Amino acid sequence: MSIREANVNDIAGIARIHKGRFPRQFVGRLPRSLIAKFYASQLARSILLVHVGKSGVDGFVHGGLSSLMAAGRKEFFLTNMGRCFWSMAIRPPLCWSAVKSLTGWRFRNRQSREAPPDCWLRCLAVDRAVEGTGIGAVLVEAFEYAIRVTHAREYGLSVNKSNRRAIQFYEKMGFEVERETEKSFCYRKRLVREASK
Ligand SMILES: CC(C)(COP(=O)(O)OP(=O)(O)OC[C@H]1O[C@@H](n2cnc3c(N)ncnc32)[C@H](O)[C@@H]1OP(=O)(O)O)[C@@H](O)C(=O)NCCC(=O)NCCS
């Protein structure tokens, strides 16, 4: 069992896990083949790590610099516009979540004067069959190691307030809520402590 950078052969496994774990989110509602294209568009532009267990890819983490991930989303959207619009058209409530998902739109930080972090953990998921076995934690550690290499000093992530398990997981992992919106908790984790004055 190991964690490594994802390659094109892992994309199908990542798409399967994403579809199974985020069935209500815009990308999760797309056909699996389109989810695979979404992650393929992110491969060269972001940090995409997989955990490989006995039966293959059973967990992944995706994140990186917002600007680069946005470029991947734009490319994905432009090359798959027809199928994306079709998915939105048959499910109108998806339009708003699609705009957020594809543009990387985030709530303005009204509760903090600090600018939002440049680096984000966008998605973390493990197969249900291996949930609670420590894979989520090691994927977060590997993600932090990978972004430290890029000299990131902090990163952000947001979690839907209804996702109790993920909230408990992140809090157990030492994350603290920085702010909240109507639907989400937003976390910022500093990787480098400021030197005490
Ligand atoms: C959130 C998620 C990634 C956690 O992965 P996981 O592999 O099950 O988590 P781990 O086994 O590594 O747990 C790490 C720690 O969090 C704790 N934890 C995990 N789930 C918990 C829960 N429901 N309640 C309390 N603590 C929990 C574990 O006890 C563990 O601490 P320990 O090692 O001291 O026992 C997984 O549940 C998942 O894929 N959920 C669906 C997708 C999702 O919601 N992703 C997050 C939003 S991006």
Domain ranges of the chain: 2-190
Q: Residue 197's pLDDT is what?
A: 44
State the pLDDT at residue 115.
80
- CA distance linking residue 196 with residue 75, whole number of Å: 43
**CB of residue 8 inside a 6 A radius of ligand 1:** no
Confidence of residue 26 (pLDDT cuts 50, 70, 90): confident
Residue nearest to atom 10 of ligand 1 (CA): 134
Average pLDDT, whole number, for the chain? 87
Distance CA 86, CA 180 (A): 32
Among left, alpha and beta (phi > 0; psi -120 to 50; other), residue 132 is left
Ligand 1: centre distance to CA 128 (Å)? 11
Higher pLDDT, 114 or 166: 166
Percentage with pLDDT > 90 across the chain: 60
Whether 135 is in the pocket of ligand 1, judged by its Cβ within 6 Å, is yes
pLDDT of residue 106: 52
Residue 143 Cβ contacting ligand 1 at under 6 Å: no
Write down the CATH superfamily of domain 2-190.
Gcn5-related N-acetyltransferase (GNAT) (3.40.630.30)
- 32, burial (CB in 10 Å: exposed 0-12, middle 13-18, buried 19+): middle
- Between the CA of 134 and the centroid of ligand 1 the distance, in Å, is 7
State residue 151's pLDDT score. Answer: 84
Q: What is the pTM of this model?
A: 0.88
Q: Which atom of ligand 1 is nearest to the CA of 165?
A: 23
pLDDT at residue 90, rounded to an integer: 67
Higher-pLDDT residue of 164, 24: 164
pLDDT on residue 84: 80
Whether 14 has a pLDDT exceeding 90, the answer reads yes
- Average pLDDT, integer, range 134-157: 94
Across the range 64-79, mean pLDDT stands at 90
In this predicted structure, the answer to whether residue 81 has a pLDDT above a threshold of 70 is: yes
pLDDT given at position 107: 46
Quick one: pLDDT band at residue 104, thresholds 50, 70, 90? low
